[in-house]
Amino acid sequence: MEPASIVDQYYDRFMEKHGRTALPGHLKALRDIRRRRTPGAGEFYTQCEGEVITRNGHPCPFGNRSCPKCQNHDAGRWIDRQKEKLLPVLYFLVTFTGAL
């Protein structure tokens, strides 16, 4: 199930109950999630390494921290940056406990 469909389904009830007390950041997140994947969101284009840019537009993410779809792109970029920092050695996780 998509976050936008959940927000669309419960938006009116949420606004009736919490609209006056909801924080501006919460309302912005709801608006962003509802607009995501609509023509109003705009488009961006992607290019895989070695390929020609195609005109297959993808809905533009808003980068809202409350939207899991928007954050997936940022998280992927963060993971790529972290991988670049790794040394070419084997890594192990070792946990020591204080059991006596």
Task: For the chain, give every domain's residue range.
Answer: 3-85
Provide the pLDDT for residue 13.
95
At residue 18, what are phi and psi to the nearest 5 degrees?
-125, 0
CA nearest neighbour of 34 among 5, 62, 59: 5
The CA-CA-CA angle for residues 77, 80, 84, to 5°, reads 140
Band of pLDDT at residue 2, cut at 50, 70 and 90: confident
Here the tokens at position 97 are 């406990």
Distance of CA 33 to the CA centre of its chain: 10
Provide the pLDDT for residue 7.
86
Q: List, for residues 44-73, the tens digit of each pLDDT value.
A: 555 555 545 444 444 455 556 666 666 666
Provide the pLDDT for residue 1.
67
pTM of the model: 0.45
Q: List, for residues 21-50, the tens digit of each pLDDT value.
A: 999 988 988 888 887 655 555 555 555 555
